[in-house]
Structure 1
């Protein structure tokens, strides 16, 4: 179903967190909502409550859109959340007009837009060496060695650490 949505919309319907959560069992803070039809799934929503905020993502198979499936799915999410959260954030990927109309009709406001920027690294002048602590998984090339300003260091956080690995 997600693959069919991606083919129709030009973008994957779920972020990595939702995709990974699909393999986790539901618990007090996380639920899976599925709309089955015969031997297939025509819609899915994943919802999670963290503190007093709930987040959800949902998708409806392209052949089943415009038939109220998404609205019923969102109603189920809202009913499950109930008073457990003071805010529900529903993520939409791709800034699709149909998703915007659906959200607006359901009383949601657009409050955040994320942009993804990228560029080709073809011809990028990779440094001949990286600062100590940067790790070994970085490409090297013919450019001058990378250096850090005085007082900066590279390192990795251990499990449960609050700082991601990297330099700073």
Structure 2
């Protein structure tokens, strides 16, 4: 059987989404969001999207690029994904090779990848020179039956809950809060969201972002915390990012925003909710446990030095 790896074209989006969903059912993606990934990628990312065909059928997807926001040059990422029904036929290896060649030509020195915590996936990474660094926990909530906390009878003084839709005319305050929260996330590659125009294209204009379900907590009129919601229109909801600016941490505002977002999502017809946290992110893991989330998958971060 013949396997061919080639560059992604827009018509590949439905098949590539099917592959992603089959390999990682705890993530949410749509053809529109995949096309936005391609459109919104800044030139400095040198973003490459690939598909793998086996006898004419798309059975694998991959992407790769530079972490251009990182303070140290030469950092890169790669994500090869193979439909589980087609593993063991060299598809993942060919996707990874093509992606690494692309990155090596750009001068990348270290390549990072998330690997499903399953024996065959971990062995795939190990035999290709990747070593593990940290873990990411995926959690699921049966939103249809979850016993979500009731909304408080009254909000704390000065606190107000709004949605991202209220910032449609000027989302810059959300960008500032997202930048500060992201900078403090546990990660192997420290980076910030320094470019507002990139954030608009990548995050604000992402078709998955549901602005009506994304809840923002204001304190005295300023953004203090937020919980960004992604939905796929098929009853699935993902907490894309929940964060609090440094000056207001420890007050329960992230929990307040996330819980309100989940209540709104259930009222809008979402049936299941997913979220993910680095294993070192104790505060968010604790919040999610209190909300009733249960572990559903683990991915292990791996890195390989090129050259």
Question: What TM-score results when the alignment is normalised by the length of structure 2?
Answer: 0.40
Give the Cα separation in 2 of the matches to 1:55 and 1:88: 5
Higher-RCO chain (CA-CA 8 Å, sequence separation at least 6) = 2
24, 45, 51: which one aligns with 1:34: 51
Q: Which residue of 1 aligns with 2:161?
A: 135
Root-mean-square deviation (CA), in Å? 3.3
Q: Quick check: which one's strand share is greater?
A: 2
- Which of 158, 162, 166 is the aligned partner of 2:172? 158
* Alignment partner, residue 76 of structure 1: 98
Q: Does 1:85 align with 2:85?
A: no
SS of 1:85's partner is coil
Match of 1:98 among 105, 111, 120: 120
Partner of 1:113: 135
**Aligned twin of 1:154:** none
Given that residues 54 and 81 in structure 1 are in contact (C-alpha distance below 8 angstroms), is that contact kept between their aligned partners in structure 2?
A: yes
Rounded Cα–Cα distance in structure 2 between residues aligned with 1:42 and 1:118:
26
> Contact conserved, 1:5 with 1:62, CA < 8 A, in 2?
no
1:12 — aligned with what? 25
Pick closer, same or farther for the CA change 1:22–1:53 going to 2, 3 Å: farther
Superposed displacement of residue 63, structure 1: 3.1
Where structure 1 has 5 or more consecutive residues not aligned to the other structure, the ranges are 138-156
Structure 2 CA distance for partners of 1:117 and 1:42, relative to 1, 3 Å: closer
- Residue 134 (structure 1) shift: 3.3
Q: CA deviation at 1:85?
A: 1.8
- Classify 1:41/1:14 alpha carbon distance in 2 versus 1 (closer, same or farther; 3 Å): farther
- The answer (yes or no) to whether the contact 1:53–1:86 under 8 Å persists in 2 is yes
**Which structure has the larger Rg?**
1
- 1:13 is displaced (CA, Å) by 7.8
Unpaired runs of at least 5, structure 2 = 1-14, 69-73, 164-170, 179-222, 226-243, 249-307
Residue range with higher mean Cα deviation, 99-108 or 58-67: 58-67
